[in-house]
């Protein structure tokens, strides 16, 4: 993609042969968009038919491949661009490309060496896929942990066929690897089309992907990187469609915008710049009106619309926040906006290793006036959104753009403005015609696109009411960086020797963050820290963090050892726990959630004979003594076990309950008591 909009090189024999080759119908980002759309459409369609099975996917993928083959035969051009190994090798001879390749290889190595250990992925994204597969369709899962139901399904529908055919989650990191490899080309093309100089765009296309929120997730199963590709791709294809008047590009832009919403609901504001960029294509879309119904149908199924409709149906709230019991939803945007900007700055300026996080958090807590803290607490659902706390380590669960790139971007903007000022003063002395200063755009329509981007960013920052604003702003960072790169003087700054040293230091920090990451460390962390642990608090904390993350994929496996192996159904009573570890090996057993609305009869009707109960979750959601509940369901306590699944919390206690054979007294319970929980009945 970089070649497509980049400067035309000097033509030699090999390059002339490359340009003489027929143009591919789809770029690699276009192919990825179509594949993800196919997965989303197939998932919803098979769910409607109650046929979420391998045979259903084989038929759907076969139809998709047949349509692509027919399209290729009718046009006579290759579907995908050729991968020229000589060009690839020559391209990576430059230092920035080499650094990107090295970081990519390290992320892939981490994904191969370690099982997925992203907490959210193991707690609800992978489990919801397993629940759908076991049921043969999407369904509203009866549970007290409603993130299994309310969150958008973009990455889950792409993960479903991988899990279904491989019976493991070990290869789900490939989804993020593909997303990571697409970032440089999309960044370059979008920046250039929005008015950034080609040299500057080429320079930053290799730097933006090294942001911590992208690099540290590239070898895992987090969905922030996956959700960052589609807003960029949507704007890239929308701008190209307006320039070329291409219906294919316009269609890909619309589909990518739909995927942006299904991958991350917080991407909704970023649809606005895409719609603005597509305004010049309105005549083209009118002429192709025959294809618009099909495009609209695919876009709806690939977007968050099905999830929003199901949320509205089950919990009377399209966002699902009501079912999740999220607080602070009706906060004041005028309070959130400046506070989120401050929190965003703090989280992005924190170094990869910050040993003074503890003292900083104490000072920050004391400096916030109590009245101001009370006002903020009414506007936020989590304390992390306003207590200005930082962590000792930047990794995939909390990292934003990163301190290195943030400082580099800030320094580049200031140096660029100063360089432009000196240049203009020099021109004035030479009595040369004045050059227009300030922001430069390629066309008037780009002004509107940048205005829409600014509105989208401000909307996100004024609406966000939870913690981790820095990590969840990952889809917005390329657009914020592009806005800074429009400032004059950047093309001169990137030639400076001192600037190259700063870039080297920034890439070194990214490498450090990647190597020491607790979920996929690329050094013998536990071995070394065990030898260094002489009672020092920070060393002990670091060792415990690495140990907990190493054991996370199988965190709850010790509970299974206390249950007979011939149990096909196991009950689970827990909120936000590593449920994936209970499904291993996939397909061997099924997990069914237990809720306060379940009765003795309904539990047995679901085939449950053993229940795993997290004590803290029971106390928080079951408003009765444990002994009384145990009597109500006619169960017996087998064992209580201490387990650690969250390093910040430490040991938590689990109870294993055996349901006794159903007595004649329980058989006489009224049928209306034996209902499956639905939030609509709450």
pLDDT grade for 8, boundaries at 50, 70 and 90: very low
Q: Is the pLDDT of residue 301 over 50?
A: yes
pLDDT reported for residue 142: 93
Q: Are residues 516 and 109 in contact, defined by beta-carbon separation less than 8 angstroms? A: no
Q: Are residues 221 and 29 in contact, defined by beta-carbon separation less than 8 angstroms? A: no
Give the mean pLDDT of 421-439: 45
Q: Are residues 96 and 206 in contact, defined by beta-carbon separation less than 8 angstroms? A: yes
Query: Mind listing the pLDDT tens digit for each residue in 464-516?
Result: 887 888 899 999 999 999 999 988 778 888 888 888 899 999 999 999 999 99
**Range name among 163-167, 480-484, 677-681 with the lowest pLDDT average:** 677-681
At a CB cut-off of 8 Å and minimum separation 6, what does 249 contact? Answer: 237, 238, 240, 241
Mean model confidence pLDDT for the chain? 85
Query: Mind listing the pLDDT tens digit for each residue in 601-650?
Result: 999 999 899 999 999 899 888 888 999 999 999 999 999 999 888 777 77
Higher confidence at residue 5 or residue 304? Answer: 304
Query: Mind listing the pLDDT tens digit for each residue in 40-82?
Result: 999 999 999 999 999 999 999 999 999 888 888 887 777 777 7
pLDDT grade for 532, boundaries at 50, 70 and 90: confident
Query: Mind listing the pLDDT tens digit for each residue in 138-152?
Result: 999 999 999 999 999
pLDDT reported for residue 503: 92
Q: Is the pLDDT of residue 429 over 50?
A: no
pLDDT reported for residue 179: 96
Percent of the chain with pLDDT over 70: 87
Show the CA angle centred on residue 425, arms to residues 420 and 427, nearest 5°: 95
What are the DSSP calls for 591-659, one per residue? EEE--TT--HHHHHHTT--EEEEEHHHHHHH--S-HHHHHHHTTEEEEEEEEEES-TTT-EEEEEEEEE
Distance CA(592)–CA(198), nearest Å, equals: 55
Give the mean pLDDT of 257-281: 95
pLDDT reported for residue 109: 96
Half-sphere exposure of 239 (CA within 13 A, CB side): 26
Q: Is the pLDDT of residue 215 over 60?
A: yes
Q: Is the pLDDT of residue 534 over 70?
A: no
Give the mean pLDDT of 96-102: 92
Taking only Cα atoms into account, the Rg of the chain, rounded to an integer number of angstroms, comes to 27
- Neighbour-count burial of 28, counting CB atoms closer than 10 A to its CB (0-12 exposed, 13-18 middle, 19+ buried): middle
Q: Is the pLDDT of residue 183 over 80?
A: yes
Helix (H) or strand (E) holding 300: helix 292-302
pLDDT grade for 175, boundaries at 50, 70 and 90: very high
pLDDT reported for residue 644: 84
Sign of the C-alpha dihedral computed for residues 544, 548, 550 and 556 taken in this order: positive
**Range name among 28-42, 270-284, 403-417, 529-543 with the lowest pLDDT average:** 529-543
Q: Hey, what are 168's tokens? A: 């493991």
pLDDT reported for residue 440: 41
Q: Is the pLDDT of residue 95 over 50?
A: yes
Q: Is the pLDDT of residue 4 over 90?
A: no
pTM for this entry: 0.89
Distance CA(99)–CA(11), nearest Å, equals: 27
Q: Is the pLDDT of residue 10 over 60?
A: no
**Range name among 87-91, 211-215, 503-507, 677-681 with the lowest pLDDT average:** 677-681
How are the residues of the chain apportioned to helix, strand and coil, as percentages rounded to the nearest 5?
65, 5, 30
pLDDT reported for residue 276: 95
Higher confidence at residue 215 or residue 662? Answer: 215
Q: Is the pLDDT of residue 437 over 60?
A: no
pLDDT grade for 89, boundaries at 50, 70 and 90: low
pLDDT reported for residue 506: 93
Give the mean pLDDT of 99-114: 95
Give the mean pLDDT of 20-34: 80
Distance CA(80)–CA(30), nearest Å, equals: 9
Give the mean pLDDT of 96-123: 94
Distance CA(240)–CA(445), nearest Å, equals: 13
Q: Is the pLDDT of residue 5 over 50?
A: no
SS3 438: coil
Q: Is the pLDDT of residue 438 over 50?
A: no
Higher confidence at residue 298 or residue 382? Answer: 298
CATH number of 557-681: 3.40.190
Helices (H) and strands (E) in the chain, counts: 37, 5
Domain ranges of the chain: 2-324, 557-681
CA distances to 162, 180, 584 from 169, in Å: 8, 19, 10
Percent of the chain with pLDDT over 90: 56
pLDDT reported for residue 418: 66
What is the DSSP pairing of strand 610-614 with strand 569-573?
A: parallel
Highest mean pLDDT out of 104-113, 383-392, 553-562:
104-113
């Amino acid at each position: 993609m970089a070649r497509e909009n980049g400067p035309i090189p000097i033509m030699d024999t090999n390059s002339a042969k490359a340009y003489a080759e027929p143009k591919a119908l789809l770029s690699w980002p276009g192919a990825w968009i179509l594949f993800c759309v196919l997965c989303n459409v197939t998932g919803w369609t098979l769910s409607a038919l109650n046929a979420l099975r391998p045979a259903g996917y084989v038929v759907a993928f076969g139809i998709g491949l047949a349509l692509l083959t027919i399209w290729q035969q009718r046009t006579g051009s290759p579907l995908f661009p050729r991968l020229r190994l000589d060009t690839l090798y020559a391209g990576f001879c430059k230092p920035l490309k080499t650094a990107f390749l090295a970081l990519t290889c390290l992320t892939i190595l981490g994904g191969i060496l370690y099982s997925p250990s992203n907490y959210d992925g193991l707690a609800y994204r992978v489990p919801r896929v397993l629940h759908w597969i076991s049921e043969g369709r999407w369904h509203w899962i009866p549970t007290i942990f409603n993130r299994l139901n309310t969150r958008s399904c973009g990455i889950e529908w792409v993960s479903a066929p991988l899990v279904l055919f491989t019976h493991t989650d070990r290869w789900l990191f490939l989804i993020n690897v593909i997303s990571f490899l697409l970032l440089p080309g999309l960044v370059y093309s979008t920046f250039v089309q929005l008015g950034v100089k080609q040299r500057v765009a080429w320079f930053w296309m290799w730097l933006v992907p090294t942001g911590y929120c992208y690099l540290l997730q590239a070898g895992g199963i987090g969905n922030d990187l996956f959700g960052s590709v589609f807003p960029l791709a949507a704007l890239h294809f929308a701008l190209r469609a307006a320039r070329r008047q291409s219906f294919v590009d316009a269609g890909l832009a619309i589909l990518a915008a739909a995927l942006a919403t299904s991958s991350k609901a917080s991407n909704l504001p970023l649809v606005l710049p895409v719609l603005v960029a597509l305004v010049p294509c309105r005549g083209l879309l009118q002429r192709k009106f025959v294809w618009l119904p099909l495009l609209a149908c695919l876009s709806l199924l690939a977007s968050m619309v099905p999830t929003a409709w199901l949320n509205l149906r089950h919990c009377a709230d399209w966002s699902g926040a009501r079912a999740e019991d999220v607080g602070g939803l009706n906060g004041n945007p005028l309070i959130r906006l400046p506070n989120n900007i401050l929190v965003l700055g703090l989280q992005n300026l924190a170094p990869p290793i910050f040993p003074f996080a503890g003292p900083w958090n104490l000072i920050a807590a004391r400096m916030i006036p109590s009245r101001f803290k009370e006002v903020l607490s009414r506007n936020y659902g989590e304390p992390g959104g306003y207590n200005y706390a930082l962590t000792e380590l930047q990794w995939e669960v909390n990292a934003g753009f990163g301190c290195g790139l943030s400082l580099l971007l800030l320094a580049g903007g200031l140096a660029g403005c100063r360089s432009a000022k000196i240049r203009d003063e020099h021109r004035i002395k030479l009595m040369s015609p004045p050059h227009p200063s300030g922001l430069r755009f390629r066309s008037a329509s780009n002004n509107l696109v940048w205005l829409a981007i600014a509105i989208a960013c401000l909307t996100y920052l004024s609406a966000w009411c939870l913690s981790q604003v820095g990590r969840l702003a990952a889809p917005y960072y390329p657009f914020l960086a592009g806005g800074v790169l429009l400032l004059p003087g950047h093309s001169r700054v990137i030639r400076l020797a001192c600037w190259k040293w700063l870039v080297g230091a920034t890439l070194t920090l990214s490498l450090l963050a990647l190597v020491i990451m607790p979920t996929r460390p690329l050094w013998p962390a536990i071995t070394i820290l065990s030898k260094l642990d002489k009672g020092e608090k920070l060393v002990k904390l670091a060792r415990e963090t690495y140990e907990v993350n190493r054991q996370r994929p199988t965190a709850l496996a010790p509970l299974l050892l206390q249950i007979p192996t011939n149990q096909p159904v196991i009950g689970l009573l827990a909120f936000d726990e590593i449920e994936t570890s209970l499904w291993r090996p996939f397909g061997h057993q099924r997990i069914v959630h237990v809720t306060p609305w379940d009765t003795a009869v309904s539990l047995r009707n679901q085939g449950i004979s053993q229940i795993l109960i997290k004590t803290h979750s029971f106390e928080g959601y079951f408003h009765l003594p444990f002994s009384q509940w145990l009597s109500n369901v006619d169960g017996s306590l087998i064992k209580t076990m201490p387990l650690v699944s969250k390093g910040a919390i430490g040991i938590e206690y689990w109870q294993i309950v055996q349901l006794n054979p159903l007595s004649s007294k329980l058989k006489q319970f009224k049928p209306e008591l034996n209902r499956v929980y639905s939030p609509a009945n709450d």
